[in-house]
């Protein structure tokens, strides 16, 4: 079975569009994608422009929902070394603690 069929889509493109629109029908897939990329090692990727930053976010499905935000830590070469999506209701202490672990 193809993954697009599992989500009652006729094509991968239709499934992709549902994911990009954060459609409720693919909420389980969206949760899995967030899990799959959360707190993982980041391959070399240099933020040399706004477009590169946008490419990075799209490549790793780092598109927070309305009640979330993303923090990306960069090294001195503007390369992402860590990222995490937080809920807006998270306490400041928890956020600082998460990044202090680095």
Q: Total structural domains in the chain?
A: 2
- The verdict on 46 and 31 lying in the same domain is no
The pLDDT value given to residue 102? 56
Domain span at 45: 39-102
- The verdict on 19 and 6 lying in the same domain is yes
- The verdict on 44 and 78 lying in the same domain is yes
The pTM score is: 0.53
Kindly give the confidence (pLDDT) of every residue in the chain, 102 residues in length, as a single tens digit, with 9 standing for 90 and above.
789 899 999 998 999 899 888 899 999 998 888 777 665 555 677 888 888 888 888 887 788 888 999 888 888 888 888 888 888 998 888 888 877 765
CA distance 81 to 1: 36
- The verdict on 1 and 30 lying in the same domain is yes
How many CA within 13 A on the CB side of residue 3?
10
The pLDDT value given to residue 1? 79
- The verdict on 30 and 69 lying in the same domain is no
Q: Environment class of residue 84 by beta-carbon count within 10 Å: exposed (0-12), middle (13-18) or buried (19+)? A: middle
């Amino acid at each position: 079975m193809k993954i697009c069929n599992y989500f009652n889509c006729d094509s991968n493109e239709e499934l992709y569009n549902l994911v990009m629109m954060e459609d409720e029908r693919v909420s389980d897939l969206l949760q899995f994608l967030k899990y799959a990329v959360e707190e993982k090692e980041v391959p070399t990727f240099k933020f040399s422009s706004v477009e590169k930053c946008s490419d990075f976010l799209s490549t790793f499905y780092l598109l927070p929902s309305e009640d979330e935000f993303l923090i990306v830590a960069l090294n001195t070469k503007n390369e992402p070394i860590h990222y995490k999506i937080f809920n807006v209701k998270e306490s400041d202490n928890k956020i600082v603690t998460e990044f202090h672990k680095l």
